[in-house]
Structure 1
Amino acid sequence: MISAIPHFKEHPKPNVCRRNDKEKEVMNCEANGYVTIKWEKYQSSSNSWIRPSHRAMNITSPKLIFSVITEEDEGVYRCVATNDDGSVISDNATITVYGPPIITDVSDATTVKEGDKAYFTCTVSNDVDSTYPVNISWYNDKGIQLKSDAATDMSELLIDPVSISDDGVYTCRAYNHPESIAEQQISLTVECMYTYCPIISTAASSSNPFKVGGNAIIIFCSASGQPTPMVQWYTGGRPVYPDPNKNQQFIANIPNDTPHNTTYTCKAWNSVGHKSKSITVVVQP
């Protein structure tokens, strides 16, 4: 009788897996004929091959699938194919697990005067594997990338000099893989140094909360600046009225026929700057 020890038609291949992926097929091996398959993982502490973790859903299947991937599943694997004539061992293949970097420190919200400097820092740690170095990028609230640093654990952003248009939210975005991103936002408030910068205040006709069916609710927004700013009330990202008001005071009439809890934002702008301020109107039964 001719011996028919199995041979592999497909050996396991190295794979890179994202941490916490569920029901993830990470490796595959295929041998000829009627064989049984067993997956093994190398344990360096004992210099031996052991059973993969309990998250491996079926270690006797050609497909190695994990219920969920964690850092503990990183390592070297192989499969063993056996039939009545003997066993054969596949090539080794490595599973690498990656996860998003962790932003460990970021600058606090900052207020500076127009014309001064604004300085932000963002520090990260690569908590999984240095195989994938961290890149850090900075974005403004318009989604424009301002700066990008590769293979680093700390990045700085300097705005010098600061102008009114720099007022807003800045995002530190760190990633070690296109699908593995961490980010944190920092607010920059720019104090106007010139009389033409808009300054606004908001108020309601009486104290919140209001009663359904009571007196009409009127909210006020006053703005000053040079040139005279345009003023508009917004709610839910949409203007309350079709056109902004050219006057320095803008009044909105709010319905109070049904209970609701609504935030209104007054925005004032001119050719050199913009400001906004919100007020929440509560109408109770």
Structure 2
Amino acid sequence: GSVARFSCAVTSSPPATITWEFNQSMLPLQTDRITVLFNGVLQIHNVQLKDAGRYRCVATNIASRLKSREATLTVSKELGPKPHQRPQIIAGPQNVTASLHQTVVLECVATGNPSPIISWSRADSKPIDVYNAKVLGNGNLVITDVNSKHSGIYLCRATTPGTRNHTTAAANLTVLVPPSIVEKPESQTRPRAGTTRFMCQAEGVPSPRISWLKNGEQVHLNGRIKMYNSKLVITQIIPEDDAIYQCVAENEQGSVLSLARLIVVMSEDRPSAPRNVHAETI
């Protein structure tokens, strides 16, 4: 009547598909009592005497097929009526980081008498995406095709039916997002000895690193050319500053760039500022 749980951790490239065997016969991926999660976890709910035996996981990819050593499940017969037991989460969700469009599983396995009811919510009270999220088995939350809106803290709640007795477990889902430039630098025309500022703002998860290129090569910062956060400032402009400047935003998910042109005009090409200006009221 309780819950049995086996886990199987596999590292491979390309990623392996994990299945399970019971007494050397393949188990179904899901029944009313058995759930196999794609991350290698086997859950058996409402354990029965017939579930006793040897279990092992099988990892398969295009390169090979590997079987684990066996683990034994022993089922003891209950003597007398089962006492009342408050809900207890024995395998709660774990913090997870995922890339865009991946599938994420937040596990939640609970015991108690009577069997607790599992429910999910977000700590920020936002609704859980009903189109991309579903409950697998007896309480595992599966989110497919994740995007930045799915990031947040998720709460698993195990409640005794008909009561307020409950317990909770929480996990943070972080969705990694490639950089995107939200404020692009603009091309400018400036006189010799003048000052120019190129703005560049980017967002992504984790926060992108900003760097600058001049005609495709790294900008050499010095006393005239400086970076303030993500802004590039050039003072005392000289003719050699006339170039194409590229803002590069990058994180572990990718990179993106945006460019702008600086045109330097010589002072003799422009009229000088007016001098000795005064005004009279007529």
User: TM-score normalised by the shorter chain: which range applies?
Assistant: 0.3 to 0.5
Pick the structure with more strand per residue.
1
Give TM-score scaled by structure 1 length: 0.44
TM-score by length of 2: 0.44
